Structure 1
Amino acid sequence: MTSVFAALLRDEAGFIISAELVLVATLLVIGLIVGLSEVQYAVVQELNDVADAIGALNQSYCFSGFHACKSNGALKSSFAGSAFTDTADECDNNQCQITCDAPVAEGPKGGHHGW
């Protein structure tokens, strides 16, 4: 058993295989990074679809009030109705107009940096 272990320690034939494995592993990692970035893009698109579906829900409602009178004609009870009309929010269904500000020069004004 010790002679097999000693022979494995002296064996250098596996060096080329190790270099090949490093190359293959590097290519696999690069491919994995590209694949995961595509998965991330797909997940973001699906979450955007979910957000659009939620934003498209119409939350308008209306209910009428009521009142009840006593037998002598006096008001017994009443309840006022209510209504709400839902309008589209600013960023529903990707309607945002997001823009960047203009670039701003660094350093104090006047061009003198005090160096």
Structure 2
Amino acid sequence: MFQLIRDLYADEAGFIISSEMVLVGTITVLGMVVGLSEVAFNINQELEDVGSAFGSINQAYSYTGAAGGKGSSNGSSNNDEWDHGDHDGDVICDVAPTGESY
């Protein structure tokens, strides 16, 4: 029994393989973190573009009244005012330490 424990203690056959796996795993995780960060940033930019497109739609309308022999109707109008967030660049995901956006 003592010989088996001494042999297992002195065995280093799996040491190189396990350290290589730790290195490969670390590089993989770091690459995934950077990649997913870029994906999140680009998704936010695309959603900003979609929101700006909806905000730039002109919703103003107007119609005049009509009058006939026995009746009439009044006209109506609505003016589309500028809303906060109607323009590009309103959403900033990351801010550099100097205050400039990336």
TM-score after normalising by structure 1: 0.61
Distance 2:40 2:55 in 1: 22
Residues 88 and 36 of structure 1: CA distance in aligned 2, closer, same or farther (over 3 Å): same
Q: Mark the runs of 5 or more structure 2 residues left unpaired by the alignment.
A: 1-7, 91-102
Deviation readout 1:66-103 (Å, 9 max, x if unpaired): 1222xxxxxx222211111112112210476xxxxxxx
Deviation readout 1:24-56 (Å, 9 max, x if unpaired): 111110110011011101110111011111111
| Structure 1 counterpart of 2:32 | 32
| Structure 2 counterpart of 1:113 | none
For the aligned residue pairs, the C-alpha RMSD in angstroms reads 2.0
Select the structure of larger CA radius of gyration: 1
Is 2:72 the counterpart of 1:85? no
Residues 39 and 95 of structure 1: CA distance in aligned 2, closer, same or farther (over 3 Å): closer
Distance 1:18 1:78 in 2: 88
Q: Mark the runs of 5 or more structure 1 residues left unpaired by the alignment.
A: 1-9, 70-75, 97-115
| Structure 2 counterpart of 1:57 | 57
Give the partner amino acid of 1:83.
S
Give the partner amino acid of 1:17.
I
* Off by >3 Å, runs of 4+ in structure 1: none
Provide the identity percentage.
48
Distance 1:90 1:34 in 2: 32
Distance 2:89 2:43 in 1: 20
The number of residue pairs the alignment matches comes to 81
Distance 1:56 1:17 in 2: 58
